[in-house]
Every structure is written in C-alpha cells, then in structure tokens.
Amino acid sequence: MDQMEIKPRPHSLNGTIHVPGDKSISHRAIMLGSLAEGRTTVKRFLTGEDCLTTIKVFQSMGVPIEQNDDEVRIDGKGLHGLSESVTPLNLGNSGTTTRLLLGILAGTPNHYTLFGDPSLSKRPMNRVVDPLREMGALIDGREHGNLLPLSIRGQGLKPIHYRLPVNSAQVKSAILLAGLFANGTTTVMEPVKTRDHTERMLEAFGVKVKREGDLIHISGGQTLTGVDIEVPGDISSAAFFMCAAALKENSEITLKDVGLNPTRTGIVDVLNNMGVSMTINTTRHIGDEPVGDITVKGGPMHGTTLSGDLIPRLIDELPIIALVASRAEGKTIIKDAEELRYKETDRIQAVVDTLKQMGAKVEATKDGMIIEGSTNPLNGGTYSSYHDHRIGMMVAVASVVCEEKIILDNPSCISISYPNFFDHLDALSKPN
Ligand SMILES: O=C(O)C1=C[C@@H](OP(=O)(O)O)[C@@H](O)[C@H](O)C1
Ligand SMILES: C=C(OP(=O)(O)O)C(=O)O
C-alpha cells in the first residue's frame, strides 16, 4: 500500500514560499477559456490532479489546450463549439469539475456520460441536477440522477430564478454557466455569500454579471472573449502552512502572492480570533482578484466559535483549523458546517476520528465538532488520509507538534490540490 513515514519536526518553521495556484480559479480558467472566442493563456495554473482532470475533459470535447508545467494555452471554441466525446468523461476525484461542467453541458445539445472515482461517485449531484432539469436539461443516473455515473443531453435552456438551498459556490456556478445558454436572464439568490471567482472571471471574459444584494443575474447568449489570466496562490493550500507556523513556537513564515478574495479569507479571521500573530499585505490585483503576502508567527492560541456566514469562507480549511484548535487553550466550537460531510470523505467524521487517535479531546456533532484544546504531545502511529487530500495534509502538519513518527496511508492523494506539499513542508521545517 502507498504509505509514507513522517518524522517528528522538532524545529520551528521559518522561510518564504509561493504556494501553488488557486484550484477554484484554475478550473474556471480552463472552462471559460474553452467557451471563449480566441486564445486564453493561463500562468501559475495549478497542476494538481483535479485541474489536470478539467484539462483532459475539455480536450476530449475538442478544445485545443496545451499545458506546459504551470502555463496553459487554450484556443477557445466559443459558447457553442464543444463536440461530443466518443468516450465517457472521467471526472476523477473532482467535485468542482463535475458540477460546473454539468452547468455547461446542460446548454450544449450533445449527449455525454460522466463518471468518477469511488469518492466522487458517492457525492450528491442532485443539488445541480435539480435546477438544471428545471432549466430544461435531460439528466439521468443512479438514484434518479443524484449519483455518478450520469448521462446528460443538453438543449436550449429556459432561464430560472433560483434560491440556493445549500451554501455552495459549485451550485451557484453551475447555474450561472447554464444561464449563459438560456434565452433570457437567469437569477441566483445566495442567502450566504460563497466564493465568487466565477462571477469575477466571467466579467474578465467580457460577460455582464449584475450583482444586486444577494441576487446575481446573468443573461444568456453573451460572448466570452479570450484573456490572459494569472492565477493567485491558493489560500486553501496556504492555510496548511499558516496553521503549521501558528502551532509551533518561534516560527515565522511568509507566503507570497496568495489570493485574498474576501470570500476566501475566513482562515485569516479565525487565526486572528485565536490570537495568532499575523500580517497581511495586499500587494496587487491580478485581474479582479486581490493578492498579497501573509506572514504568520507561532505562539499560544485560544479557542473560538466558527459558525454562520464564516463557514463558506473557510469550508476547505476546517480540517486544519480543527487540528490547530486541538492545541489551543479552551474550547472551539464549529457549527453550521454539515456540508463537510459531503466532501471527498465525511470530513467531520474523518477529522474527529483522526484527532481522537492523536489523543485530542473532540466530539462530532451533526453539523460540526466541539474541540477541547490541550498542549499535551500528540500520539504518533498509522493514520489514514481517507483518500482525501485535505485530511492527508492535516495529518502531515500534525508532525510539527508530534514527538513520535507518523505513518500516513495513501499520501499520494495530496497531489489532488498540492503536488509539492512535502517539498514545502520540508523547506519550512528544516533546522535553521
Ligand atoms: O467552487 C469551488 O471551486 C469550490 C467550492 C467549494 O465547494 P461547495 O460549492 O460544494 O461548497 C469547495 O469546497 C471546493 O473545494 C471548491
Ligand atoms: C472539496 C474539495 O474539492 P471538490 O469539491 O472540487 O472535490 C476540496 O478541494 O477540498
């Protein structure tokens, strides 16, 4: 079995790194670039498995895409230029690719079959299938179209006015992308704001997106024009090292050129609330996305409560935040985060079981967890990544506060979002 030994890291973390490009933005660059007229270039593209899946899927629908390391060139086929794929589309492990793609295929009058790996095949798709059917797409699959494999036949769509029943940027984006193909104006209402990279990038491609309070309107039939995109560093990847540094006394690390879109910076707010010493410097905008440098120092921390509107702003960071909370003084309560149960694995259960095995005091609740912090050393041993990149990275970061070695099962899943994660961990935690 794929296993890795991770030795305890007794040294503080010091140094400067550039985390890889943002996963959400990299996916969207390929998708919008494929639907655009003309050429799109992408710099600092995330070469993680999920984003490579997005490239492969669009290539198999006839889009010329050339990838050289983290630079990508897409010769867009226009809104109606995707061809039928001879083979079923393999979505691997990527929820974002699957759900956003369904939005695009809903308006493409071809037939497609979509399948994924065992984890993706358990994740609910009815959250996008229901509104897309309402717009006119024909979709079927296991559990009446809730689970992959799915087949979809797109056609001319009618616009809808849709209130998001879950706080999900993937669902919002799928509907907005389908809205490009509808004969009229589609409106999405999001009661709680989620990441808005789709809206920002559509505007960069020349599409008019009207935002009015919690409503987002998009009119069908607009042309996307190819652009040059530079992807900011992924704050969800940066979070692992922000937390690693926070956990270890005398650490001081800087993460350069990280995306600071306010719909993604919940991690900064939480670490601030926990008393972590940090400086954030917004240095520039790349396109419409703010970018800057984050410096974090290690030291004592205290517990906090995470709930409500904050949750979508740090949804993917909750596993690593839970590890930090297990080392903070007092209690941390995470609630309103039931969505964690529908990720690559049930992340509430996976985090609670892992932290318990490490010796932490933590209990799962229906929509989150309650963590009682302590500074006792964590237990080493053999841990599962649950085939979930974010759980795997959480376990690896625990090595900075663990006095025994850790064996991590299936560490290779980490390349889903952070292919050079261990190089960065080694670089930051080497002896000074
Ligand atoms: O839109 C996106 O790029 C993403 C949205 C979030 O999922 P949900 O929309 O399901 O919350 C997040 O967890 C995922 O990693 C990426
Ligand atoms: C949930 C995630 O991704 P996706 O939904 O795209 O699989 C993630 O990256 O943590």
pLDDT, tens only, 186-242: 999 999 999 999 999 999 999 999 999 999 999 999 999 999 999 999 999 999 999
Q: Provide the pLDDT for residue 391.
A: 98
The answer to whether 76 and 66 are in contact (CB under 8 A) is: no
What digits encode the pLDDT tens for the residues 322-350? 999 999 999 999 999 999 999 999 999 99
Q: Coil, helix or strand for 129? A: helix
Cα gap 104→205, rounded to integer Å: 16
Q: Is the pLDDT of residue 75 over 80?
A: yes
What is the per-residue pLDDT for 377? 86
Q: Report the C-alpha gap between 109 and 188 in whole angstroms.
A: 23
**Does ligand 1 lie within 6 Å of residue 195's CB atom?**
yes
pLDDT, tens digit, 9 for 90 and up, residues 125-148: 999 999 999 999 999 999 999 999
Pocket test for ligand 2, best of 94, 170, 321 (most atoms within 8 A of CB): 94
Q: Is the dihedral of CA 125, 131, 134, 137 positive or negative?
A: negative
Domain boundaries, the chain: 3-20+232-428, 23-230
Q: Amino acid identity of 129?
A: V
User: How much is the pLDDT for 248?
Assistant: 96
pLDDT given at position 288: 87
Which residue has the CA at smallest separation from atom 3 of ligand 1? Answer: 24
pLDDT tens across 376-417, in order?
889 999 999 999 999 999 999 999 999 999 999 999 999 999
* pLDDT attached to residue 430: 86
Instruction: Identify the band that residue 37 occupies on the pLDDT scale cut at 50, 70 and 90.
Output: very high
Q: Which residues are annotated as a binding site for phosphoenolpyruvate?
A: 23, 95, 123, 170, 347, 390
Would you tell me how many other CB atoms lie within 10 Å of the CB of residue 430? 12
Q: Please, what is the average pLDDT of the chain?
A: 97
Is residue 339 within 6 Å of ligand 1 at its C-beta?
Answer: yes
How much of the chain exceeds pLDDT 70, in percent? 100
Q: Report, as an integer, the average pLDDT of 30-47.
A: 98
Give residue 170 CA to ligand 2 midpoint distance, Å: 10
Distance from C-alpha of 341 to C-alpha of 33, rounded to nearest angstrom: 32
Which tokens hold the place of 276? 């972590």
**Per-residue pLDDT for 355 more than 70?**
yes
Taking 90 as the threshold, does the pLDDT of residue 274 lie above it?
yes
Task: Look at the pTM and tell me if it is higher than 0.90.
Answer: yes
Q: What is the pLDDT of residue 62?
A: 98
* Domain 3-20+232-428 and domain 23-230 have a common topology: yes
Cβ(429)–Cβ(11) below 8 Å:
yes
Instruction: Check pLDDT > 80 for residue 1.
Output: no
Distance 388 CA to ligand 1 centre (A): 14
pLDDT of residue 428: 97
Grade residue 431 by pLDDT with cuts at 50, 70 and 90: confident
Q: For residue 5, report the distance from its CA to the centre of ligand 1, in Å.
A: 30
What helix, strand, coil percent values describe the chain, rounded to 5? 35, 30, 35
CATH of 3-20+232-428, one of 3.10.20.740, 3.40.50.300, 3.65.10.10, 3.90.1150.10: 3.65.10.10
Separation of alpha carbons 113 and 51, rounded Å: 19
pLDDT at 432 over 90: no
Instruction: Report the relative pairing of strands 368-372 and 331-334 from DSSP bridges.
Output: antiparallel
Average pLDDT over residues 282-309: 96
92: left (phi over 0), alpha (psi -120 to 50) or beta: left
Q: Which residues contact 67 (CB under 8 A, 6 or more apart)?
A: 45, 47, 52, 55
User: Would you state the CATH architecture of domain 23-230?
Assistant: Alpha-beta prism (3.65)
Cα(411)–Cα(303) distance, rounded to whole angstroms? Answer: 29
| Bigger pLDDT: 162 vs 430 | 162
Task: Give the residue-averaged pLDDT of 106-124.
Answer: 98
Q: Ligand 1 within 6 A of 24 CB?
A: yes
